[in-house]
Structure 1
Amino acid sequence: MEIDLIKQLGYKAFDSRLKRISDHIAHNVKKLYKEIDLDVEPNWYLIFMLLKEHDHLSIANIAERIGYAHTSVFITVTKMSERGYVRLSTDKTDKRKQLVSLTTKATKSLPMLEQIWASCEAAILQILEDDLGIFSYLDKVDSNLEKTSFHQRFKQEYLKRTSAK
């Protein structure tokens, strides 16, 4: 059996381990969507959830609320718009802002999507064996990154090591 390098590296490959888990889940969600002939993508979930609660939000506001880059949200929203799930409009008070809102197609799809998402949530709970302790650790990671960015920490460590030579 091949050695799993990411597991072998442990904390040194922390980001790779999280990405691999995320990619695995997203790939399988996408696979189910395709099997049931659903034309949405897994990464649309957060935007659907936000817009379900708000009539409309700017792209910048969505990005801020989910902690993603503006460009990433813009690309996702554009795909959602192309498939008819969101409507883009210009803010009347600030022409630079694009407002995003759910379309009729999206609101009609929400009950089915919510059933699918509930199934996904149940599957995640099975994987976690109903132990949500991992989220306390992730909250600590988020909090520590808010206090001091990874860039600052990384740079500081790098400078310590290079100036010691």
Structure 2
Amino acid sequence: MKLFEKTGKMALGSRLRLLTATVTENAAQIYELYKVEFSPKWFPVFFVLSEEGEKTITEIATEIGHSQPSVTKIIQEMTVSGLVEENLKSKDKRRTLVGLTPKGTMLSEKIRVQCTDVDAAIEGIITEATHNLWEAIEEWEFLLEQKSLFRRVQEQKKLRESKDVQIVEYESQYQSAFKSLNEEWISTYFEMEEADYKALDNPKEYILDKGGKIFVALYNNEPVGVCALIKMNDANYDFEMAKMAVSPNAQGKNIGGLLGQAVVDAAKQLGASKLYLESNTILKPAINLYHKLGFQKIAGQATPYKRCNIQMELNLNNQL
């Protein structure tokens, strides 16, 4: 159709629905051809019961990938048609079974003959076609099970928007943003502490003058994220990644990832061998980000922050 030539792949769902409607309409005509009073939507449930015998609604729903309410509605319709009966006796009284009636069993034999012809007809289409739709559907189902279309679009959105993010080094004009962004996220989950105020009120004195760095993420030239590389007086660690904060209005653009990578790159350039950080496990997106950057959980050591319940390190010598 010309519409889909205009819309492109954006209309995949609409095109599949149209194809499904066409096939379903044909299926109804085929049942009429074989003088079978049957609704195409019943087939998955009917097939399971005819092949495997009595089942619970939950078992049927799981096997055919439908919701329980959907299966329940189909069972009710098939019961009215005299093909299925419910509340069959079971050894386990907690299980309510559904099975075919004698009429349903007779119909299953009739449908088997019909299925032979349908299979042959579809095989003919596959032979005529350039691409095997049946195999393609199976492949797509597998790929979408591994990662949904929503997740894939989400990743593309993040990738596109991240291209508009600029990471710059700290200047005095960003002091208020450095403080406000950190205050915002800390106050959302925890309480501001004395160590926070020292670094946020005096970033030049407590971070920059001691050999550290601060990076600022700009989106549309507005500061929306910050992260610091702080020099440590520790025998095991050269620097700490700290004070990472991203505005809630700018999340979903990979800003945290870009800031984190900027800090890691800066630590390497300064000759650091290990990078340290402190966080809290309730901040799941942050913990996931740190893992992606290569950080690993380590045994705890003294910390000035009450909110810290996890400490991590990144061995820069192991990175290419």
- TM-score strictly above 0.5: yes
From 67, 70, 80, the equivalent of 2:68 is 70
Name the aligned partner's letter for residue 62 of structure 1: I
Aligned to 2:7: 9
Matches of 2:11 and 2:35, distance apart in 1? 36
The TM-score, its normalising length taken from structure 2, stands at 0.44
Higher RCO by CA contacts (8 Å cutoff, separation 6 or greater): 1
Matches of 1:7 and 1:68, distance apart in 2? 32
Matches of 2:69 and 2:38, distance apart in 1? 19
Aligned to 2:189: none
Unaligned runs of 5+ in 2: 165-219, 221-320
Aligned to 2:50: 52
- Greater CA deviation, 21-30 or 127-136? 127-136
Q: Does the 8 Å contact 1:86/1:100 carry over to 2?
A: yes
- Greater CA deviation, 68-77 or 154-163? 154-163
Matches of 2:46 and 2:39, distance apart in 1? 11
More helix by share: 1
Secondary structure of 1:38's counterpart equals coil
Q: How does 1:1-165 map to 2 (within 5 A)?
A: 4-34=2-32, 37-89=35-87, 93=92, 95=94, 98-129=96-127, 133-158=132-157
Q: Does the 8 Å contact 2:126/2:132 carry over to 1?
A: no
Q: Does the 8 Å contact 1:6/1:16 carry over to 2?
A: no
Secondary structure of 1:40's counterpart equals coil
Number of residues of Structure 1 aligned to a counterpart in Structure 2: 162
Name the aligned partner's letter for residue 142 of structure 1: E
> CA 1:139/1:35 → structure 2, altered by over 3 Å: closer, same or farther?
closer
> CA 1:151/1:69 → structure 2, altered by over 3 Å: closer, same or farther?
farther
- CA-based RMSD of the aligned residues comes to 2.7
Deviating 4+ runs (over 6 angstroms)? none
Unaligned runs of 5+ in 1: none
